[in-house]
Amino acid sequence: MPDAHPIRRRLLLAGTAGAAATVVLPSTGRAASLVHPVIDSCADWNARPPARTIGVLRTNPNKIVIHHTVTANTDDLSRGQAHAHARRVQNLHMDGNGWSDTGYHFVVSRGGWITEGRHHSLATLTTGTGLVLGAHTAGGRQNFEAIAISNEGSYHAGATPPDLQWGSLTLLCAHVCARYGIPPTEIYGHRDFNSTQCPGVFHALLPRLRTEVATTLAEATTPRPLSTAPDTSPADDTPQRGTLVHRRPDDG
């Protein structure tokens, strides 16, 4: 049965309708209007409370670091699976690694669902000020400087991220770049800073990711005429003209 309220992510052009946040792109100085991606909070997926106080820095992040979770490449693309996976990652990081909470700021499921990882990450992203101190890259420095986005699955040689996951990752990165004024060139992989195979094949895809994030941001600054004809399309089914839409599967 189709979802009664399809979940979509939209990048709206400046001047179109929507609950959008206006930001200035660092490369152009032009205003862009980005609708927030759909991100399920820690409360949404029933996260455990942190074991210790989570530090929130006053400084903003200057880069994004991409990871993979090295979990099963499931065919379950549902929201429920994304939430269950978020809980497994948190349990591993807290009980196995002894950390205070999930190490990553956000996790993108194979079905394209985005979940908040470390508590308070969504709040700081929404305001575009401050950075939650992470636990995602050994050595410490990047935990003070970077937003960590991990991808559900094991992406060793031969594995390919599903289109839904890739689309959500691209739009989340674009949103993070816009909120914090981070250039798309400042998107890296975990192995750029540590001796690790993480993020697997995503590392070879980083040039494509940077390009697609830059294109997504550029779309927000390119004026396009909107139709003045009456909208007779079904509610929540057909996007407005002038929008980029990424659809996810029905919540199974």
Q: Residue 139's pLDDT is what?
A: 80
Strand pairing class (243-247; 131-132): unpaired
Band of the pLDDT at 227, cuts 50, 70, 90? very low
**Which of the two residues, 23 and 164, has the higher pLDDT score?**
164
| DSSP at 97 | S
CA Rg, the chain, in Å?
18
Question: Residue 8 pLDDT > 80, yes or no?
Answer: no
Band of the pLDDT at 157, cuts 50, 70, 90? confident
Q: Residue 23's pLDDT is what?
A: 42
CA atoms of 91 and 69, how far apart (whole Å): 13
**Which of the two residues, 249 and 212, has the higher pLDDT score?**
212
* pLDDT tens for each residue of 15-69: 222 333 344 444 444 434 454 689 999 999 999 999 999 999 999 999 999 999 9
Q: Residue 182's pLDDT is what?
A: 95
Q: Residue 224's pLDDT is what?
A: 52
* pLDDT tens for each residue of 125-147: 999 999 998 889 888 789 999 99
User: What integer is the mean pLDDT of 163-171?
Assistant: 95
Q: Residue 219's pLDDT is what?
A: 84
Q: Residue 140's pLDDT is what?
A: 77
Question: Residue 250 pLDDT > 90, yes or no?
Answer: no
List C-alpha distances in Å: 4 to 7, 77, 100, 165, 207. Answer: 9, 18, 37, 22, 37
Q: Which residue has the tokens 């895809």?
A: 205
Q: Residue 2's pLDDT is what?
A: 30
Q: What is the mean pLDDT of the chain?
A: 79
SS3 at position 243: strand
ω into residue 199 within 30 of 0, thus cis? Answer: yes
